[in-house]
Amino acid sequence: MASYPYSISSSGSDFSTPRSTSPSSVIGSARSSQSSISSSKRMSISSSRRISSSNPMSSVDIATIEEAMRMANLDVLRGYAQNHYGEVQQYATTEYVKQNQALGYQVLNEPLWNKGLSFSPEQRVSKNLTGLLPHVMEGADKQCERALKMIRSRQTSIDKYLYLSTIKGQNVDLFYRLLIDNAKEMMPLVYTPTIGDVCLQYSTIYTRPEALYISIKQRKSIRTILRNWPHPNPEICVVTDGSRILGLGDLGVNGVGIPIGKLALYTAAAGIHPEKTLPIVLDCGTANETNLKDPLYLGLRSKRIPVSEQQDFMDEFMQAAADVYPNMVVQFEDFESEKAFNYLDRYRNSYKCFNDDIQGTGAVVLGGYIGAVNLSGVPIEEQRLVFMGAGSAGVGVAKQLVEYYTKRGLSEQAAKEKFWLVDTKGLVTKDRGDKLAEHKKYFARVDNNGHQFRTLEEVIEYVKPSALVGLTATFGVFTESVVRALKASVDAGGLGRRPILFPLSNPLTKAECTFEQAVTWTDGTVIFASGSPFSNFTIKTGDTGITYYPNQGNNVYVFPGIGLGAILAKASRVTDNMIYTSAAALAGSLNAEEIHKGLIYPRIERVREANIIVAREVMKAARRDGVSTLPEAQWVEWEEWGDPALTKFIKERVYDPIF
Ligand SMILES: NC(=O)C1=CN([C@@H]2O[C@H](COP(=O)(O)OP(=O)(O)OC[C@H]3O[C@@H](n4cnc5c(N)ncnc54)[C@H](OP(=O)(O)O)[C@@H]3O)[C@@H](O)[C@H]2O)C=CC1
Ligand SMILES: CC(=O)C(=O)O
Ligand SMILES: [Mg+2]
pLDDT (0 to 100) of residue 3: 29
Which of these is catalytic: 191, 266, 343, 580?
Answer: 191
User: Residue 302 half-sphere exposure, CB side, CA atoms within 13 Å?
Assistant: 9
Q: Which DSSP state fits 19?
A: S
Question: What CA–CA distance (Å, rounded) separates 26 from 236?
Answer: 8
pLDDT value at residue 542:
86
Q: Which ligand is nearest to the CA of 601?
A: 1
Mutate which of 246, 332, 365, 472 to test ligand 1's pocket (most atoms within 8 Å of Cβ)? Answer: 472
Type of residue at 358: I
| The residue type at 432 | R
Q: Is 400 in the pocket of ligand 1 (CB under 6 A)?
A: no
User: What value does the CA radius of gyration of the chain take, rounded to a whole number of Å?
Assistant: 26
Q: CA–CA separation, 522 vs 375, rounded Å?
A: 15
Separation of CA 274 and ligand 1 centre (Å): 31
Q: Say whether the ipTM exceeds 0.85.
A: yes
Q: What is the pLDDT of residue 102?
A: 56
Q: What pairs with residue 283 in β-bridges?
A: 215
Start-to-end CA distance of the chain, whole Å, equals: 27
Q: Residue 516: what residue type? A: E
- CA-CA distance, 432 to 330, in Å (whole number)? 37
Does the beta carbon of 5 lie inside 6 Å of ligand 2? Answer: no
CB-based burial of residue 34 (10 Å sphere; 0-12 exposed, 13-18 middle, 19+ buried)?
A: buried
- Chain-centroid distance of CA 73 in Å reads 39
Residue 614 near residue 584 (C-beta atoms within 8 A): no
Nearest CA to ligand 1 atom 15: 391
Q: Which ligand has the shortest distance to the CA of 472? A: 1
- Residue 477 Cβ inside 6 Å of ligand 1? The answer reads yes
| Mean pLDDT over the full length of the chain | 87
Note the pLDDT of residue 106: 85
Catalytic pick from 160, 262, 339, 418?
262
Q: Minimal CA–CA distance to 354: which of 366, 367, 368, 343?
A: 343
Q: What is the pLDDT of residue 95?
A: 52
Ligand 2 probe mutation, 248, 469, 506, most atoms within 8 A of CB: 506
Rounded to the nearest angstrom, the distance between the alpha carbon of 411 and the centre of ligand 1 is: 28
Q: Please give the DSSP secondary-structure letter assigned to residue 364.
A: H
Which DSSP string corresponds to 250-301? --GGGGGHHHHHHHHHHHHHH---GGGEEEEEEE-----HHHHH-TT--S-S
Q: 556 alpha carbon to ligand 2 midpoint, in Å?
A: 9
For residues 594 and 374, give the distance between their C-alpha atoms in angstroms, rounded to a whole number: 14
C-alpha–C-alpha distance, residues 222 and 422, integer Å: 40
CA-proximal residue: ligand 2, atom 4 (nearest): 246
Which ligand 2 atom is the nearest neighbour of the CA of 247? 5
Cβ pair 506, 197 in contact under 8 A: no
- Per-residue pLDDT tens digits for 228-259: 999 999 999 999 999 999 999 999 999 999 99
* Ligand 1 within 6 A of CB of 403: no
Say yes or no: CB of residue 359 within 6 Å of ligand 2: no
- Compute the distance between CA of residue 364 and CA of residue 586 in angstroms, rounded to an integer: 7
597 is catalytic: no
pTM value? 0.88
Cα–Cα distance, 4 to 92 (Å, whole number): 9
Residue nearest to atom 5 of ligand 2 (CA): 246
Answer yes or no: 262 catalytic: yes
Give, in order, the Cα–Cα distances in Å from 280 to each of 63, 186, 277, 565. Answer: 32, 23, 10, 21
Residue 493 phi, psi (nearest 5): -80, -20
- Residue 400 beta carbon below 6 angstroms from any ligand 2 atom: no
Residues, the chain: 659
Question: Strands 212-215 and 277-283: what pairing?
Answer: parallel
Query: Which parts of the chain register pLDDT below 50?
Result: 1-93, 96-100
How far is Cα of residue 539 from the mean position of the Cα atoms in its chain? 34
Q: Is the dihedral of CA 503, 342, 213, 273 positive or negative?
A: positive
- Ligand 1 centroid to 472 CA: how many Å? 3
CB 351 within 8 A of CB 330: yes
CA distance 266 to 249: 24
What's the gap in Å between 7 CA and the centre of ligand 3? Answer: 40
Which CA distances in Å does 224 have to 51, 79, 212, 265, 309? Answer: 21, 9, 11, 27, 21
- The CA 334 to ligand 3 mean position distance, Å, reads 5
- Closest residue by Cα to atom 24, ligand 1, is 472
Tell me the CA distances in angstroms from 494 to 322, 379, 497, one per residue in order. 55, 11, 6
Calculate the alpha carbon distances from 381 to 52, 148, 417, 650 in Å: 64, 48, 12, 37
Closest approach atom of ligand 2 to CA 334: 6
Q: Which residues, 6 or more positions from 629, have their beta carbon under 8 angstroms from its beta carbon? A: 569, 570, 571, 572
Q: Is 46 in the pocket of ligand 2 (CB under 6 A)?
A: no
> Three-class SS of residue 468?
strand
